[in-house]
Amino acid sequence: MKTILLLRKLKALATTVACGAALLTHSATADTTLRVWGLSGPSGEYFAGALKRFEKANPGIAGKFSAYPNEQYKTAIQVGVRSADPPDVYQNWAFERAARMMRDGFAVDIGDFTKELSATALSEYTFKGKLYGVPFDRHGKYMWYNVAYFRDHNLSPPNSFDELIDVCKKIRATDPQMVPIGLGASEPWTIDAYISVFNQKLVPEDVRKADTALSAPADSLFTDLGYIAALQKILDMQSAGCFNDGITALTPEAARSMFANGMCAMHYEGTWCLVVFDNEGLKNGYQGFRLPDFKNQKGSTGAHLIIADGFQVHPITEKRGTRESAIAFLKFILSPQEQAEFAKETKALPSVPAARNYLSDATPIFLWALKDTSEATVEVAHLDTTLDRAISDVYLRGYQDLVNHVKTPEQIMSEVHNEAVLIQKQRNAQQ
């Protein structure tokens, strides 16, 4: 009898253990929590809200959003993807930064998003023919101009680079106190915006692509004279009086405020600044144009500088069983309704053009920029997002030396060439 009772107890214990193990196994194979990492601030608030709406639309999936300030995030994400508890979905900038995550094995192919995004938008996260992320905002950079000032001084938006120089000269001649174009390059990416576009216009496309990919022969890397000409154009603008004094001492934010407060007639910046202009008193008082073309330029005309920001999916999703919900979340935030909500909350340009159908309250300039950016066929990316970091660093510090007349365009390009040769050598050695 005692033996029977003991056997029964053992059976019950075995059943309990088996049930427990089954539960554990289930929870290990199908994690229902979707971990999303992104930036704090307005976009972070939007994504936290979007994740809640996604949970509601997908019962059984719990979202967990972790937000970090911009500078902190750049480090946190690099450490986070290698940690024991990485995010399933994480915000990351397009081009080289996204490509690096792919190369290091921290991003997976996410399949087909052709229904949601244009081919140009998808190209920002497409590497080796596969899609490793999706942009959720795509800002365009424009030369903004003060409409009232242009009208009062009989000025027109220029159609060529020479005309832009003429506009600067006219402003200086008629109004010495007015700065034609505000430029704050205490952070050198503001000059990188000009050079990225100038390179597209002045260097043949196949040369640029080979140099960027470091696939050109070592002795010809970044030696095309167009690169030097692009840097020289900044000096031409400077000698024509286009910019303010103390370029490298002025912050980008101060230059932006100069334009918003009527202290300069033009300012080249991304569409994220629209909200600043509006809040600082220039609402409906400005218009924009893309950086004009050069005569006999080598690149395609009408190129547009676009800064894209999006999400990538971590390979851990396969182990956790969250791959499908991660991709479903990306599809969810790229629906026109959600994209419109994102634009309303953050004042950023959404990457899905159809969002405009839900943005009837947006300002005319916002809708114009959204249309113009989404229709751009020739896209230019910032050099510091497409080049190897070490090469882009030589460029970035070169810009500051250029406008401070410490180095010539030839000296800067010689340094860029030398660094590119070094990096190419290192990469070849690794392969």
Partner 1 sequence: MSRVYFRRNNQVLPYLFLTPALVFLALFMAYPLTETVVKSFYAYDLTSRVLNLVGISNYIELVHDPMFQTAAKNAILFVIFSVLVQIPLGTVLAAVLDRGVTSNASLTFRTIIFSPLVLSIVAVGLLWQLILDPLVGLASAVVKAVGLHPPPLGWLGDPKIAIYVIMAIAFWQYIGFVTLLMFAGLQRIPEELYQAATLDGAGPITSFWYVSLPMVQNALIVTSLLTMIGALRVFDFVYILTGGGPANATQVPATMIYKEAFFLGRMGYANAVSVLLLLATVGLGFVQIRFSRHS
Assign residue 41 a region (left: φ > 0; alpha: ψ between -120 and 50; beta: otherwise): left
Using CB under 8 A as the criterion, what x/- string covers residues 102-141 for binding partner 1? --xxx-----------------------------------
> Which span sits near partner 1 by CB under 8 A: 192-200, 246-254, 293-301, 358-366?
246-254
> Which span sits near partner 1 by CB under 8 A: 46-54, 71-79, 121-129, 334-342?
71-79
DSSP string for 212-235: HTT-S-GGGTT--HHHHHHHHHHH
Q: Does 321 bind partner 1 (CB under 8 A)?
A: no
Minimum distance from residue 332 beta carbon to partner 1 (Å): 27
Binding to partner 1 in span 163-182, by CB under 8 A: 179
> Which span sits near partner 1 by CB under 8 A: 74-82, 273-281, 340-348, 369-377?
74-82
d(CA 262, CA 286): 11
d(CA 380, CA 388): 16
In order of 56, 66, 97, the CA distances from 40 in angstroms are 22, 8, 19
Minimum distance from residue 252 beta carbon to partner 1 (Å): 12
Figure out which of the listed residues 401, 411, 414, 418 binds partner 1, where binding follows CB under 8 A: 401
Q: CA nearest 91: which of 115, 113, 109, 67? A: 67
d(CA 18, CA 253): 62
Minimum distance from residue 250 beta carbon to partner 1 (Å): 6
Q: CA nearest 106: which of 271, 313, 284? A: 313
Figure out which of the listed residues 164, 250, 274, 316 binds partner 1, where binding follows CB under 8 A: 250
Residue 115 makes CB contacts below 8 A (sequence gap 6+) with none
What is the identity of the amino acid at 22? A
Which ranges in 104-202 belong to alpha helices (H)?
119-123, 147-152, 161-174, 189-202
Nearer to partner 1, 107 or 327 (CB): 107
> Site for partner 1 (CB under 8 A): how many residues?
35
Q: Does 406 bind partner 1 (CB under 8 A)?
A: yes
Q: Does 251 bind partner 1 (CB under 8 A)?
A: yes
Q: CA nearest 38: which of 80, 72, 70, 67? A: 67
Q: Does 397 bind partner 1 (CB under 8 A)?
A: yes
What is the identity of the amino acid at 214? L
Binding to partner 1 in span 263-282, by CB under 8 A: 263
Nearer to partner 1, 337 or 414 (CB): 414
Nearer to partner 1, 244 or 271 (CB): 244
Q: Does 78 bind partner 1 (CB under 8 A)?
A: yes
Q: Does 249 bind partner 1 (CB under 8 A)?
A: yes
Q: Does 101 bind partner 1 (CB under 8 A)?
A: yes
Q: Does 186 bind partner 1 (CB under 8 A)?
A: yes
d(CA 362, CA 355): 11
Minimum distance from residue 405 beta carbon to partner 1 (Å): 9
d(CA 215, CA 233): 27
Nearer to partner 1, 10 or 390 (CB): 390
Nearer to partner 1, 203 or 258 (CB): 258
Residue 44 makes CB contacts below 8 A (sequence gap 6+) with 38, 65, 67
Q: Does 10 bind partner 1 (CB under 8 A)?
A: no
Q: What are phi and psi of 267, to 5 degrees?
A: -160, 130
Q: Does 187 bind partner 1 (CB under 8 A)?
A: yes
Q: Does 418 bind partner 1 (CB under 8 A)?
A: no
Figure out which of the listed residues 39, 50, 61, 81 binds partner 1, where binding follows CB under 8 A: 81
DSSP, collapsed to helix, strand or coil, labels residue 304 as: strand
Minimum distance from residue 30 beta carbon to partner 1 (Å): 27
d(CA 163, CA 157): 8
Q: Does 240 bind partner 1 (CB under 8 A)?
A: no
Burial class (CB in 10 A: 0-12, 13-18, 19+), 275: middle
Residues that bind partner 1 (CB under 8 A): 74-75, 78-79, 81-82, 100-101, 104-106, 179, 186-188, 244-251, 254, 258, 263, 389-390, 393, 397-398, 400-401, 404, 406
